[in-house]
Amino acid sequence: MNKVIAIANQKGGVGKTTTAINLAASLAATKRKTLLIDLDPQGNATTAAGIQPEKIKTLYAHYFEKAAVKECIQTSPDNYDVIPSGEDLIALEVAIRNDGNQGFLSSSLKPFEDFYDYTIIDTPPTLNQLTIEALFCASGTLIPLQCEYYSLEGITGLMKTIETLSSKNMTSNRVLGIVRTMVDMRNNLAKEVSDELEKHFPSLIFNTLIPRNVKLAEAPSHGISGIKYMPNSYGAKAYLALAGELIRRIEYV
């Protein structure tokens, strides 16, 4: 059964794409059949996954030109599949909203229910219809968070939206956990915020801390994950550990 996980936080630059890419690569490294869906028109996950933006069909083609979802799927050098994104997803977002077609992504993924073990969805830094589509079809949401003063305020809206969707029985989505990203424990404020998070969300916080590590930032320019680029780096090891923790949370319950 395909476990669909949305990576979301409406705050920009918190490590959503880096988490999506490296989790997909880590899950693929454990021989779990994995699909990464880039739902951000910025297309960062697409290029970081090593997909050439010139050669792709996005979900725009599926929605407007009746292309099969299969025609959109590419394979990354890290051995996971990718449904890429591009700027045309901006028009897709408007169309889904105007057509009242909520749940479009969910129905598009139905044929793949038994094919993938995991589907990871990277979302844009806003709570727009594309993010809602991801939340709607995911069974769990993972929230990357930077340990900064305002970081908590940004996620309350997201958590409320997930609660509202679930309470109306529109989705079985729940917050799987909060991942602390770009952590530098030499920074006192980061340490304070990190401690606060552990106090407030003891069951939600992932134990694995993702350190600030330049190898994770360099890897996308090579079109590969940090796991493949520098397997022994702290960043790569942290994402492999995070994948292990995620698997334990999801599969061993």
Question: What is the spatial distance between Cα 133 and Cα 110, in angstroms, rounded to a whole number?
Answer: 14
Residue among 17 and 151 whose Cβ is closer to Mg ion:
17
Q: Which two tokens stand for residue 87?
A: 């700027």
Q: How many residues belong to the site for ligand ATP (CB under 6 A)? A: 19
Q: How far is the CB of 96 from ligand ATP (least distance, A)?
A: 20
- Of 181-220, binders to ligand ATP (CB under 6 A) are 181-182, 210, 212-213, 216-217
**DSSP codes of every residue in 170-198:** S---EEEEEEEESB-TTSHHHHHHHHHHH
Contacting residue, 14, 59, 89, 197, with ligand ATP by CB under 6 A? 14
Please choose which of Mg ion, ligand ATP, none residue 244 contacts, taking the beta carbon within 5 to 8 angstroms, the exact cut-off set by kind.
none
Radius of gyration of the chain (CA): 17
Q: Does 15 bind ligand ATP (CB under 6 A)?
A: yes
Alpha carbon 132 to its chain's center = 13
Question: What is the spatial distance between Cα 33 and Cα 9, in angstroms, rounded to a whole number?
Answer: 25
- List b or e across 70-85, with b for residues whose CB sees 16 or more CB atoms inside 10 angstroms: eebbbebebebbbbbb
Please choose which of ligand ATP, Mg ion, none residue 47 contacts, taking the beta carbon within 5 to 8 angstroms, the exact cut-off set by kind.
none
Contact 78, 225 (CB under 8 A): yes
Amino acid identity of 178? I
**Neighbour tally for 182: CB within 10 Å:** 22
Which segment (17-25, 101-109, 110-118, 240-248) binds Mg ion by CB under 5 A?
17-25
Contact 38, 83 (CB under 8 A): yes
Question: What is the spatial distance between Cα 70 and Cα 180, in angstroms, rounded to a whole number?
Answer: 34
Q: Does 235 bind ligand ATP (CB under 6 A)?
A: yes
Which segment (13-21, 98-106, 127-135, 155-163) binds ligand ATP by CB under 6 A?
13-21
- Of 73-132, binders to ligand ATP (CB under 6 A) are 125
Q: How far is the CB of 91 from ligand ATP (least distance, A)?
A: 19
Residue among 117 and 151 whose Cβ is closer to Mg ion:
151
Please choose which of Mg ion, ligand ATP, none residue 84 contacts, taking the beta carbon within 5 to 8 angstroms, the exact cut-off set by kind.
none
**37 sits in which H/E element:** strand 34-38
Contact 77, 228 (CB under 8 A): yes
Place of tokens 């709607």: 136
Q: Does 44 bind ligand ATP (CB under 6 A)?
A: yes
Binding mask 21-60 for Mg ion (x = CB under 5 A): -----------------------x----------------
**Residues near Mg ion, by CB under 5 A:** 16-17, 44
**Residues near ligand ATP, by CB under 6 A:** 12-18, 40, 42, 44, 125, 181-182, 210, 212-213, 216-217, 235
